[in-house]
Structure 1
Amino acid sequence: MFRLPEAWVWDFWTVDDGEQYHLFFLYASRALRDPHARHYRASIGHAVSHDLVKWERVVDALVRSDAPAFDDCATWTGSVVRHPDGRWFMFYTGASLNAFGANVQSIGYATSTDLMVWDKAPGPVLSADGEIYEKWAPAPEGNWHDEAFRDPWVFADPDRDGWHMLITARSAVGPSSDPADRVDRGVVGHAWSADLENWELREPLSAPGQGFGQLEVLQPFVVDGRQVLLFNCLAGDASDRLKATGTEGGVWIASAESPLGPYDIAGARRIDDPSLYVGKFITDRESGETKFMAFRNETGGQFIGEITDPYAVTWDGDGLALVRVSRRLTPVNSGSGAVSLAPE
């Protein structure tokens, strides 16, 4: 368990340098008292480990910039990849408040030679354009509470044709003219780069109308030979149709044909209960096994804010079974299509 007594910890991402695992995480002081206020005070912390269990905190990676800047409110979730020239690139979300107090998100990056000291590049390098991806607008025209354009997940093209970025975004157009469908615009945003420095915004890799207002913290991964897309969505950000099924929010997986889709977003399954959020698959360097980690979200209405120890991951039919050191958690189908977890 990775826990800070003085701060809440939530979204995170990892990278393996061949000797250690690096954990980059969002954190904010518990002195704020209100856990919801953490989003506007988030910095990116850093810890290292040899086994994904025992973590040593090291110097922070990034903090917000002085105003005016695209990240002058907070630095949010991202990912890390290594350029062929040896440099590490951290792509991250910058949050800034506009004149209406709305949270506008865009994407920047920082580079490092050692994963310890990071230098921000001028940014942002990507933002919502208003034609493909929805921009924030005040009521009554506005459809969403912020300008959702964040959580960049970057990976090399499978055919070695540059780099791809998956983005938590919303479509600029709805699935229908029905006002009730305004929420249902969550899509897998997409951008491409030849060099990691210059980015081309592209059409989304999924369509709106799949049941989710936003697909947070995306991660394509192959689990025991099956390609999936992992994403996260809380119940409050689901469409009315999905809420009507009684499905709770949490970590979801959708089957996929490749890292770039197509994805079966409408057929996605929840793989845990809402007490866990922002799941991540991680390959154990020594065993080659797939592990799963998440942060502890709300339990009994109280935000916890700490990161779990790793679970082993195996398929159990069409569901995923998570196995931790002390006990096995098995999938339990609620009858609504959602899969929760219960101890044996």
Structure 2
Amino acid sequence: MSSILPRSQFIPLFALLLLHFAPAEIQGQNEGNLYASRFQPPGMWIWDNWFVHDGDQWHAFYLQVPKAIGKERRWKNNDLFKHVGHATAKEAPTGQFEWKNSGPALFALPGTWNDRHIATGSIIRHEGKWWQFFTGRGINGDGVGLALSDDLNKWNTEPAPLIPLIDTFAETAEAPYESVWQGETRHWAGISDPYIYPKPVDGWFYLVLCSRILDVPIEESGCLTLMRSQDLKNWESAGIMAWPRCFERMETPQLLHRPDGNWSLIFGGVVNSDWAKQKENQHAFPDAVRGKGSHKNYVYHFPTEFLVPAKDEHLHHIATPPGHYYIMKVISLKDTPDRSDLAFFTATEPDRGSVLSEPFRVKHLPEGGIELVRIQTESE
């Protein structure tokens, strides 16, 4: 495998065409008050957002595919088309962010280990550079990839994955890791969605993965696991964080240090609805999940520290407004003295499809749950 890819390397024609859809213009201002701060780049569907602040403005990254490929290929059979997009916005304590499209940020490229597509990731600042950890899919295997940048615009991808992953729907797989959960040794593998906590804790960087327990039916295999590293390149298992045995997947996690000093672990829960209807009354489903259906947002509460197994009684459903709001990510405003938190989602509209949602104020509840408060616009 070659070293970091030179900028002169061949780029597929469709990637060059996508660069055409990168005007620095404000999007999402024509849908009335509700959609005032929503965003969708021209010609794209977007979803699974992650954010970082550079000291001057916010940067949103997200998965995107061109609408030109057609709805039937929006979620599958879209190798090389699915990639990471980028937008920026000045902080707006009023909540009315005006996102400006910065175009594509990362692609899967032929001739690399990541030659199929890219999926969700996260970014931190370390040693003068930006480190973007992402889900990489390849013909010869999947993994957590790493790309480095000086300015959040131009990225150089490392030549090999850092952590092995398996395909989301793999029927069989080798287990690269084993951990003890409730007194039993469990074999597990990461699937996707690396979330890197931005600061080291006791000398270690921690990364949360959407993972699967491999010796149980897929309907109950979804779990969240923890990796740790001291240099951000060499990683080891730090165990299973959460396994409630009711999700196929626990997607796009985010670990938050709450204002009260406790911790929250946010994720999106994918449930096999037919299986759940049969199992809810005979299986020990957490109360927070019972009857909720699939693709809902949840938060685990960790009193005092997160390096302990999550408890079902500390799992809370996050209620959202009518409509489809999924994949919640929280940012902490930099220019407010009380460290106000805002939440963004992937929202779905009848005409435009999936977009970056308007923000909501986050209220951290004493028992560990989260309440969302809609931000009123000036005209309301």
How many positions carry a matched residue from both structures? 301
Cα distance change, pair 292–242 in 1 and its aligned pair in 2 (3 A): farther
Same amino acid, percent of matched pairs: 23
Question: Which of 304, 313, 316 matches 2:353?
Answer: 304
Shift of 1:37: 3.4
Question: Which of 80, 84, 108 matches 1:44?
Answer: 84
Gap regions ≥5 residues in structure 2: 1-37, 174-188
Q: For 1:110-259, list aligned pairs within 5 A.
A: 110-128=147-165, 136-137=170-171, 149-155=191-197, 159-174=201-216, 181-206=217-242, 208-225=243-260, 226-236=262-272, 240=276, 241-242=279-280, 245-249=290-294, 250-257=296-303, 258-259=305-306
One-letter code of the match for 1:280?
A: K
* CA displacement, residues 234-253 of structure 1 (integer Å, 9 cap, x when unaligned): 33379633599421231111
Q: For 1:57-96, list aligned pairs within 5 A.
A: 57-67=101-111, 69-83=112-126, 85-96=127-138
Task: Work out whether residues 74 and 95 of structure 1, in 8 Å CA contact, stay in contact via their aligned partners in 2.
Answer: yes
Corresponding residue SS for 2:353 = strand
Cα distance change, pair 192–17 in 1 and its aligned pair in 2 (3 A): same
Cα distance change, pair 56–238 in 1 and its aligned pair in 2 (3 A): farther
TM-score under structure 1 length normalisation = 0.77
Single out whichever of 247-256 and 262-271 deviates more from structure 2: 262-271
Q: Does 1:314 align with 2:341?
A: no
Q: For 1:248-327, list aligned pairs within 5 A.
A: 248-249=293-294, 250-257=296-303, 258-265=305-312, 267-273=314-320, 275-287=324-336, 288-297=339-348, 304-315=353-364, 318=367, 319-326=369-376
One-letter code of the match for 1:217?
A: T
* CA distance in 2: counterparts of 1:219 and 1:18, whole angstroms: 21
* CA distance in 1: counterparts of 2:138 and 2:158, whole angstroms: 17
Shift of 1:261: 3.8
Task: Work out whether residues 43 and 75 of structure 1, in 8 Å CA contact, stay in contact via their aligned partners in 2.
Answer: yes
* CA distance in 2: counterparts of 1:57 and 1:10, whole angstroms: 15
Task: Work out whether residues 191 and 199 of structure 1, in 8 Å CA contact, stay in contact via their aligned partners in 2.
Answer: yes
Higher RCO (C-alpha under 8 Å, 6+ residues apart): 2
Task: Work out whether residues 134 and 171 of structure 1, in 8 Å CA contact, stay in contact via their aligned partners in 2.
Answer: no
One-letter code of the match for 1:9?
A: I
Task: Work out whether residues 331 and 343 of structure 2, in 8 Å CA contact, stay in contact via their aligned partners in 1.
Answer: yes
Task: Work out whether residues 190 and 202 of structure 1, in 8 Å CA contact, stay in contact via their aligned partners in 2.
Answer: yes
Single out whichever of 281-290 and 34-43 deviates more from structure 2: 34-43
TM-score under structure 2 length normalisation = 0.71
Q: Does 1:7 align with 2:44?
A: yes
Residue in 1 that maps onto 2:177: none
Task: Work out whether residues 213 and 239 of structure 1, in 8 Å CA contact, stay in contact via their aligned partners in 2.
Answer: no
Shift of 1:267: 4.8
Cα distance change, pair 124–303 in 1 and its aligned pair in 2 (3 A): farther
Cα distance change, pair 167–221 in 1 and its aligned pair in 2 (3 A): same
Task: Work out whether residues 267 and 299 of structure 2, in 8 Å CA contact, stay in contact via their aligned partners in 1.
Answer: yes
One-letter code of the match for 1:310?
A: P
Task: Work out whether residues 256 and 263 of structure 1, in 8 Å CA contact, stay in contact via their aligned partners in 2.
Answer: yes
Cα distance change, pair 135–279 in 1 and its aligned pair in 2 (3 A): closer
* CA distance in 2: counterparts of 1:38 and 1:305, whole angstroms: 18
- Higher Cα radius of gyration: 2
* CA distance in 2: counterparts of 1:49 and 1:64, whole angstroms: 26
Gap regions ≥5 residues in structure 1: 99-103, 140-146, 175-180, 328-344
Task: Work out whether residues 244 and 312 of structure 2, in 8 Å CA contact, stay in contact via their aligned partners in 1.
Answer: no
Report the RMSD for the aligned CA atoms in angstroms.
3.0
* CA distance in 2: counterparts of 1:114 and 1:81, whole angstroms: 12
Task: Work out whether residues 213 and 237 of structure 1, in 8 Å CA contact, stay in contact via their aligned partners in 2.
Answer: no
* CA distance in 2: counterparts of 1:238 and 1:187, whole angstroms: 20
One-letter code of the match for 1:117?
A: K
* CA distance in 2: counterparts of 1:305 and 1:150, whole angstroms: 20
